[in-house]
Amino acid sequence: MSKLNGAFAADMPEKKLKSLEKILSYADTNISGSLDRLFQLLRIPSVSCDPHYADQCQEAARWLSDELENIGFASSVRETIGHPVVVAHHKNSGGPHVLFYGHYDVQPIDPLDEWEADPFDPQLRVQSSGETHIVARGASDDKGQLLTFIEACRAWKAVTGSLPISVSMFFEGEEESGSPSMDAFLDQAGAELSADIMLLCDTYLWNDAVPAVTVMFRGLLEEEIEITCANRDLHSGAYGNAARNPIQVLAEVIASLRGPKGEVAIAGFYDDVKEPGRELKAELDKLHFDTETFLNNVGLSQSAGDQTYSVLEQVWTRPSCEINGIAGGYYGDGLKTIVPSKATAKISFRLVDGQDPDLIRAKFHEHIRTRMPSDCAVKFTELGGSKASVIPCDSKYLRRARAALKDEWGCDSVLIGSGGSIPIVSVMQSKLSINSLPIGFARSDNRHHSPNEKYDLSSFKKGIRSWIRILAELSADEGNYGYLKPHPQV
């Protein structure tokens, strides 16, 4: 869409409109250069979890830093205890200061035989539908997505000689392997990343035609429990009945975690849950979520959750408790007639706004401990915990970004939640008090982490155009679209 007929354009002085048109058309006419650069980045096999690719992670960081320098950022590659990060700044005197976050690392490529071509030899594939896919590992997660922002900045610089607001960028190389260096890096260099708002695009469109801002991410709490009864596996003929069976005990305590309606039955579990505000509820109602297709797609027909809540609420705004795995006793071939001594389970909770992971952990421990019969010991292993993140619906940055998206897509964007988490969002909120605006252009069929990962060429193009407009919108103080003022260069 090249027409400027949305909310922002309506208020915009004629001269500035023309300039925005020029920037958008620069991005369109130079798309092959943008694609060339994306292909260069995709050719670097920056797999973070495999130490064999450490040099390639360095190479990807260096590539990004060089590109940012080319468009006028003061950029550097910073070493961490793991893979390096890239930090870059382009300061400006006016407007808010935004920090853009992305990750240059990718997932491993196995199973390699399921790829139709070399995962690190990116291809443009025209589909029978007429759509074009960019196919490569990282095409969508996250190299294609992060480059939409860099290319938007490039277009701004090429046409106006500057950026409309102060922009910093922060790229890590360990997102796909749990970001082990992030805490230490932020403790040491966090102040340099302070900004009014963090932008990121590691998220999805609502559908092919409707953009989305993800405003809620659930937190995550993980635990392992080990229940021990006798001091060794016992002969079930000799001890059957007399010895407590830890698998039986485990099954009973696991069963006690949910009540008859599917609700989590730990005392006080919902005490601090904050219901979404009226405004957000109204936004969610507008989505007309197709529950049936959602369940049918995975071979299900009926939600097992608390029916007081819609399925969308169950997966976005309500906390959950899931048994991820259980183990114990003998499960080899044939039969071994024992009363085992030990049973274990991995259990995780998705948390929502208001819930404190440490408090929930304590309540969970209490729930299990008080249910332990005689001669049973329970050991807990804490496997990590993070709070939910919620982006305030009344944020002026959110309002401006949505106005820009409307101009580009010709329809209202939607506010959505995510049942999962993007850890950087909660880390930046808790460590640096920076809220995020997660706006991504990936489609749900992009095959993240799977063979033949792809990014739609249309996502790449419209992603660049959307960021161009978002930068313009964010630069506008109320009623004063300041981005055409001459700005000092870095």
- Closest to Zn ion by CB, 212 or 249: 212
Q: Which two tokens stand for residue 364?
A: 């969970």
Smallest distance from Zn ion to CB 28, Å: 29
**Type of residue found at 392:** P
* Total residues at interface with Zn ion (CB under 5 A): 1
- Closest to Zn ion by CB, 410 or 420: 420
Which residues lie across from 345 on neighbouring strands?
225, 326
**Residue that is written with structure tokens 């099954």 in the block:** 251
- Closest to Zn ion by CB, 48 or 314: 48
Cβ–Cβ under 8 Å, residues 388 and 315: no
Classify burial at 233, counting beta carbons within 10 Å of its beta carbon; exposed 0-12, middle 13-18, buried 19 or more.
middle
Helix, strand, coil tally for the chain in percent (to 5): 35, 25, 40
- Closest to Zn ion by CB, 111 or 334: 111
Smallest distance from Zn ion to CB 109, Å: 13
- Closest to Zn ion by CB, 141 or 407: 141
Cβ–Cβ under 8 Å, residues 63 and 44: yes
- Closest to Zn ion by CB, 141 or 151: 141
Cis bond before residue 111 (omega within 30° of 0)? yes
- Closest to Zn ion by CB, 146 or 250: 146
Classify burial at 315, counting beta carbons within 10 Å of its beta carbon; exposed 0-12, middle 13-18, buried 19 or more.
buried
Smallest distance from Zn ion to CB 448, Å: 5
Smallest distance from Zn ion to CB 440, Å: 12
Q: Compute the Cα dihedral for 24, 27, 30, 31 and give only its sign.
A: negative
Cβ–Cβ under 8 Å, residues 217 and 421: yes
Q: Angle formed by the axes of helices 54-70 and 143-160, to 10°?
A: 20
Smallest distance from Zn ion to CB 450, Å: 11
Smallest distance from Zn ion to CB 36, Å: 24
Sequence-ordered alpha helix ranges (H) in 175-227: 182-189
Cβ–Cβ under 8 Å, residues 148 and 460: yes
CA distance 238 to 91: 77
CA distance 202 to 171: 12
- DSSP E strands, 292-407: 320-328, 338-339, 342-351, 377-386, 389-390
- Closest to Zn ion by CB, 141 or 408: 141
Smallest distance from Zn ion to CB 138, Å: 9
Report strand pairing: 414-418 vs 212-217: parallel
- Closest to Zn ion by CB, 60 or 474: 60
Cβ–Cβ under 8 Å, residues 95 and 120: no
Which residues lie across from 381 on neighbouring strands?
224
Q: Which two tokens stand for residue 229?
A: 């009864």
Give, as ranges, the residues between 90 and 149 that touch Zn ion (CB under 5 A): 141
* Cα 426 from chain centre: 10
Smallest distance from Zn ion to CB 30, Å: 28
- Closest to Zn ion by CB, 13 or 384: 384
Cβ–Cβ under 8 Å, residues 28 and 461: yes
| Position 174 contacts Zn ion (CB under 5 A) | no
Classify burial at 308, counting beta carbons within 10 Å of its beta carbon; exposed 0-12, middle 13-18, buried 19 or more.
exposed
Q: Which two tokens stand for residue 271?
A: 């005490």
Smallest distance from Zn ion to CB 446, Å: 10
Smallest distance from Zn ion to CB 142, Å: 7
- Closest to Zn ion by CB, 19 or 46: 46
Smallest distance from Zn ion to CB 184, Å: 22
- Closest to Zn ion by CB, 67 or 141: 141
Smallest distance from Zn ion to CB 24, Å: 29
DSSP annotation of 311 reads H
Torsion of CA 465, 471, 473, 478, to 10 degrees: -170
Closest residue to bound Zn ion by CB = 141
State the residues that interact with Zn ion by CB under 5 A. Answer: 141
